[in-house]
Amino acid sequence: MFGLMDVFLKNDSVSLQKDILDHVEYTVARSRFSFDDFEAYQALSHSIRDRLIERWHDTHLYVKKQDPKRVYFLSLEFLMGRSMTNSVINLGIRDQYADALNQLGFEFEVLAEQEGDAALGNGGLARLSACLMDSLATLDYPAWGYGLRYQYGLFRQIILDGFQLEQPDYWLNFGNPWEIERVHVSYSVKFYGTVEEEDLDGERTKVWIPGETVEAVAYDNPIPGYGTRSALNLRLWAAKPSDKYDMESYNTGDYINAIMNRQKAETISNVLYPDDRSYQGKELRLKQQYFFVSASLQDIIRRFKDNHQNFDELPDKVALQINDTHPALAIVELMRMLLDEEHLDWNRAFEITCKIFSFTTHTVEPGGLEKVPVDLLGHLLPRHLQIIYEINYKFMEELKKIIGQDYDRLSRMSIIEEGAVKNVRVANLSIVCSHTVNGVSKVHLQLLKERVFKDFCELWPQKFHYKTNGVTQRRWVVVSNPNLCSLISKWLGTESWIRNVDLLGGLRQYATDPDLQREWKMAKKVNKLRLAEYIETLSGVKVSLDAMFDVQVKRIHEYKRQLLNILGVIHRFDCIKNMSASDKGKVVPRVCIIGGKAAPGYDIAKKIIKLCHAVADKINNDADVGDLLKLVFIPDYNVSVAELVIPGSDLSQHISTAGHEASGTGSMKFLMNGCLLLATADGSTVEIMEEVGAENMFIFGAKLDEIPALREKGASLKAPLQFARVVRMVRDGYFGFEDYFKSLCDTLEEEKDFYLLGYDFTSYLEAQAAADRAFVDQEKWTQMSILSTAGAGKFSSDRTIEEYAKHTWGIEPCKCPF
Ligand code: 26M
């Protein structure tokens, strides 16, 4: 007889070595006596994957038996980054693997660099999904993630002569050992066609006769929790041609064309759309959304039906979270399944649906909300459009009873937008059919109430909440900053903070301890060295480790104000150029680092990238300036680049115009890594100030409640002379490309300066000067740095998930006992 422990894979160094060599020979099919780093990475990842699968099976069997209520997290985007280091850390076998590899003559860190970066998402929303999955697994919640398996992830950013070029990210080129293809888990997804009425047992029912069928095949990605055997599943769907329905085309004899047509099916999951409003209303995007939603719901309902017959129990077993409006068709699809396939009556179907769905919005501007042209939706999904109209009709009738004949308000709240082009307002649909709607920070909820969803918040105040975003300390400290990680554990006397991040607060008492300060500075230095080497290889710019590393990395957007940062750098450059030699001695040396992608069609954002390069060219080659100021652009910012950049930063900037960043999560990663924040009181920064204390940050800029009046004043707001001067330098061609930068400079004209760069410039420079003064006093700086990490506890996604679980989903942990 086997004992239970004997059936598990062994994790001692000798077993791991054998295991890796077996995978070299049988999985990678190379000789165990001769294989290179990449082959070693492949073998290693398969060995790790085996251990993931083991836990994942155990979790599934156990959860299936317990049959608790589960949450299904639906998102069109997940930014997972690399999996290998995260997996061995969460499995708790990193040291054993490092050891085994050393014996074989390899180094774990070197092999980890072989892995590509899974970038199936754009930015904040997508990385949040990944962090939430890590927390769900770590906290043993019964949960699944659902998404799309794009063959092309977010474009790779290449910089040529300072201009951004986009290149396809065919990330599956070298295989993906972290996924398991499930050819037998597949569902038919239907599109187009017509709706007809049929008699069913004497009742008239609607029947959708679809015109196209595509197969959705599951690819499973195990998500291991930390310090637990739980491993969750992230199921991503890929589109494949359907064999079932194209008999006819074969029979017509047009064999070649029939084959060619099959290829079209695969385009559905081919490419991730870059975040860009101009892609709204595109048929393929809508097809992606429905494809994803339909496959996921078929899977979820099949699982429910395994051991339940009565759909009234569905809300006790299933919670569906929709990540922004992108998966909102899930609501309509569930209605369709309950009505047309399960034959529930309307009221019962609608009541069940509303108990299941909850909706997170990540948007701050009413104009940014998703719309789908009615014609497009009716063409692609005729039955769904009928259901949407019916939901809206009933909603409007109810609403009239409550608010009377206020037609302006009724038309604002309608799910259908009337006009030259009729649109479905996807957010309105999501609000009407969800039991809970949440924003992603405290001020975001305020914006929802005052601006984005004013009418709905007044109608259903109890429906609206906020869940402040968080990030996982496993990825953002333990994986990416091992030096700081061991330092924290040493001083707290425990590693428990990795699962219970509130313990970080325990660092406060040592913030002025000279020993901790020394070790803290040393850890930062090592990380800065790593970053400096990276910068030098990328751009050839040598940077001094004594300089303050000042970093702004995030998607390029006008509201995020990378331009304010660059103008600040120009100002600093200008000051240094005009300084006496003795004053120069007092300048705090800076390395200004900017990185991020611009959406391919976002012209102004692309000009900001070019400006950054043009300014960098000038500054970095100026002998008067030398090491006092450097500007570098880090190309192709993604999760793995973030893992390198964030730990090596001294200062980080989060400088959106107040009221424009729903939350912001980058700031939280920097905070955990002991970087000081230079920020506006926007999004989650407001809550960071509550935790860390504004005295330990550099806060500047117009406040949220001042913005409307400032915009009103418009042209009468005089931007400071310093601002006019730096803008002039760009305009007059001091950095070249005069014509090209003209439209960028035009956005800063007084009456057009929507994001208030001119107004905020003075206080921005003051905040920068305060950062300089603080940096001179290294003891003070290090203390602030320690206090930043100590105050980061609230911003763990573990806290976020606990809040969702308790208040939104009503789910309990379900922990496998062995
Ligand atoms: C739109 C149209 C076509 C294709 C893609 C899109 C699209 C994709 C992603 C639009 C928006 C997308 O993401 C928005 C986003 O990332 N929002 C950010 O969400 C973070 C997590 O809540 C917040 O911290 C940020 O403040 C918010 O900007």
Q: Is 326 among the domain residues?
A: yes
User: What is the 147 CA–ligand 1 centroid distance (Å)?
Assistant: 15
Same domain, 293 and 355: yes
Residue 554 known to be catalytic: yes
Q: What is the pTM of this model?
A: 0.97
ipTM of the predicted assembly exceeds 0.85: yes
Ligand 1 atom nearest the C-alpha of 684 is 24
Give average pLDDT by consecutive 10-residue segment, the chain, 818 residues: 67 96 98 97 98 96 97 98 98 97 98 98 98 98 98 98 98 96 97 92 87 97 97 98 69 78 91 86 95 98 97 98 98 98 97 98 95 98 98 98 97 97 98 98 98 98 98 98 98 98 98 98 98 96 98 98 98 97 96 98 98 98 97 98 98 98 98 98 98 98 96 82 98 98 96 95 98 98 98 98 98 91
Catalytic residue among 46, 326, 362, 474: 362
User: What is the 70 CA–ligand 1 centroid distance (Å)?
Assistant: 25
- Torsion, Cα 539 544 550 552, to 10 degrees, reads 10
In angstroms, the CA 244 to CA 605 distance is: 46
In angstroms, the CA 52 to CA 773 distance is: 49
CA-nearest residue for atom 10, ligand 1, is: 275
Domain count along the chain: 3
Same domain, 97 and 167: no
Q: Is 401 among the domain residues?
A: no
11 three-class SS: coil
Q: Are strands 152-160 and 163-170 parallel, antiparallel or unpaired?
A: antiparallel
Ligand 1 atom nearest the C-alpha of 665 is 24
Q: Is 1 among the domain residues?
A: yes
Of 642, 598, 742, 740, the closest CA to residue 165 belongs to 598
CB under 8 Å to 169, separation ≥6 — which residues? Answer: 119, 152, 153, 154, 155, 156
Hey, which of 74, 125, 554, 803 would you mutate to test ligand 1's pocket, going by the most ligand atoms within 8 Å of its Cβ? 125
Catalytic residue among 49, 229, 444, 554: 554
Q: Is 591 among the domain residues?
A: yes
Same domain, 649 and 541: yes
Ligand 1 atom nearest the C-alpha of 664 is 24
Same domain, 206 and 310: yes
Residue appearing with tokens 């004013």: 454
Residue 437 and residue 463 in contact, taking contact as beta carbons nearer than 8 Å: yes
Predicted local confidence at residue 276, as pLDDT: 79
Same domain, 53 and 185: no
Q: Kindly report each contact of residues 804-810 with a partner whose C-beta sits within 8 Å and lies 24 or more positions away, as own/partner.
A: 804/71, 804/132, 804/321, 804/467, 805/71, 805/139, 805/141, 807/436, 807/465, 807/467, 808/319, 808/321, 808/358, 808/436, 808/438, 808/465, 808/467, 809/69, 809/71, 809/319, 809/321, 809/358, 810/69, 810/319
Residue 571 known to be catalytic: no
Q: Distance from first CA to last CA of the chain, Å, rounded?
A: 18
Hey, which of 73, 76, 122 would you mutate to test ligand 1's pocket, going by the most ligand atoms within 8 Å of its Cβ? 122
CB under 8 Å to 443, separation ≥6 — which residues? Answer: 659, 682, 683, 686, 704
- What are the φ and ψ backbone dihedral angles of 713, each rounded to 5 degrees? -65, -30
CA-nearest residue for atom 19, ligand 1, is: 125
CATH number at residue 72: 3.40.50.2000
User: What is the 126 CA–ligand 1 centroid distance (Å)?
Assistant: 7
CA-nearest residue for atom 12, ligand 1, is: 275
Ligand 1 binding residues, C-beta < 6 A: 122-125, 128, 273, 275-276, 279-280, 285, 362, 440, 469, 661-665, 683
DSSP of 251-273, one letter per residue? HTT-HHHHHHHHHHHHGGGTBPP
Ligand 1 atom nearest the C-alpha of 273 is 4
Q: Is 407 among the domain residues?
A: no
Q: Angle at which helices 329-336 and 346-356 pack, to 10 degrees?
A: 140
Ligand 1 atom nearest the C-alpha of 360 is 22
CB under 8 Å to 186, separation ≥6 — which residues? Answer: 215, 216, 217, 218, 240
Same domain, 212 and 105: no
User: What is the 247 CA–ligand 1 centroid distance (Å)?
Assistant: 42
Ligand 1 atom nearest the C-alpha of 128 is 21
Residue 669 known to be catalytic: yes
Residue 681 and residue 702 in contact, taking contact as beta carbons nearer than 8 Å: no
User: What is the 595 CA–ligand 1 centroid distance (Å)?
Assistant: 18
Same domain, 43 and 175: no
Same domain, 35 and 182: no
CB under 8 Å to 364, separation ≥6 — which residues? Answer: 444, 447, 451, 452, 659, 660, 661, 662
- With vertex at residue 437, the alpha carbon angle to CA 224 and CA 410, rounded to the nearest 5 degrees, is 155
CA-nearest residue for atom 11, ligand 1, is: 275
CA-nearest residue for atom 15, ligand 1, is: 125
Q: Is 455 among the domain residues?
A: yes
Catalytic residue among 474, 555, 590, 654: 555
Task: Provide the token pair at 107.
Answer: 């180094």
CA-nearest residue for atom 6, ligand 1, is: 275
Task: Provide the token pair at 735.
Answer: 């950095």
Number of H helices, E strands in the chain: 33, 24
In angstroms, the CA 484 to CA 669 distance is: 13
Residue 57 known to be catalytic: no
CA-nearest residue for atom 5, ligand 1, is: 275
- With vertex at residue 223, the alpha carbon angle to CA 330 and CA 476, rounded to the nearest 5 degrees, is 105
User: What is the 328 CA–ligand 1 centroid distance (Å)?
Assistant: 15
Catalytic residue among 94, 190, 669, 794: 669
CA-nearest residue for atom 14, ligand 1, is: 125
User: What is the 442 CA–ligand 1 centroid distance (Å)?
Assistant: 18
Catalytic residue among 383, 560, 561, 654: 560
371 three-class SS: strand
Hey, which of 76, 275, 468 would you mutate to test ligand 1's pocket, going by the most ligand atoms within 8 Å of its Cβ? 275
User: What is the 125 CA–ligand 1 centroid distance (Å)?
Assistant: 5
User: What is the 123 CA–ligand 1 centroid distance (Å)?
Assistant: 6
Cα 502 from chain centre: 23
In angstroms, the CA 417 to CA 415 distance is: 6
Residue 519 and residue 789 in contact, taking contact as beta carbons nearer than 8 Å: no
Same domain, 509 and 657: yes
Count CA atoms within 13 Å of residue 409 on its CB side: 14
User: What is the 119 CA–ligand 1 centroid distance (Å)?
Assistant: 14
Same domain, 52 and 134: no
CA-nearest residue for atom 8, ligand 1, is: 275
Ligand 1 atom nearest the C-alpha of 277 is 2
Predicted local confidence at residue 4, as pLDDT: 56
CA-nearest residue for atom 1, ligand 1, is: 275
Q: Is 379 among the domain residues?
A: no
Last residue in a domain, options 58, 93, 115:
115
Residue 437 and residue 430 in contact, taking contact as beta carbons nearer than 8 Å: yes
Ligand 1 atom nearest the C-alpha of 127 is 21
User: What is the 461 CA–ligand 1 centroid distance (Å)?
Assistant: 25
Name the helix (H) or strand (E) containing 66.
helix 37-66
Predicted local confidence at residue 250, as pLDDT: 61
Count of Cβ atoms closer than 10 Å to residue 232 Cβ: 27
Q: Kindly report each contact of residues 17-22 with a partner whose C-beta sits within 8 Å and lies 24 or more positions away, as own/partner.
A: 17/100, 17/103, 17/104, 19/47, 19/50, 20/44, 20/47, 20/100, 20/101, 20/104, 21/104
CB under 8 Å to 216, separation ≥6 — which residues? Answer: 186, 187, 188, 189, 237, 238, 239, 240, 291, 294, 295
CA-nearest residue for atom 9, ligand 1, is: 275
User: What is the 589 CA–ligand 1 centroid distance (Å)?
Assistant: 35
CA-nearest residue for atom 7, ligand 1, is: 275
Ligand 1 atom nearest the C-alpha of 440 is 22
- Name the region of 234 (left: φ>0; alpha: ψ -120 to 50; beta: rest): beta
Of 553, 788, 758, the closest CA to residue 694 belongs to 788
Q: Is 383 among the domain residues?
A: no
State the residue range of the domain holding 8.
Answer: 1-66+84-115
Ligand 1 atom nearest the C-alpha of 122 is 9
Same domain, 668 and 732: yes
Catalytic residue among 138, 436, 665, 800: 665
Same domain, 573 and 673: yes
Residue 425 and residue 369 in contact, taking contact as beta carbons nearer than 8 Å: yes
User: What is the 272 CA–ligand 1 centroid distance (Å)?
Assistant: 13
DSSP code at position 657? P
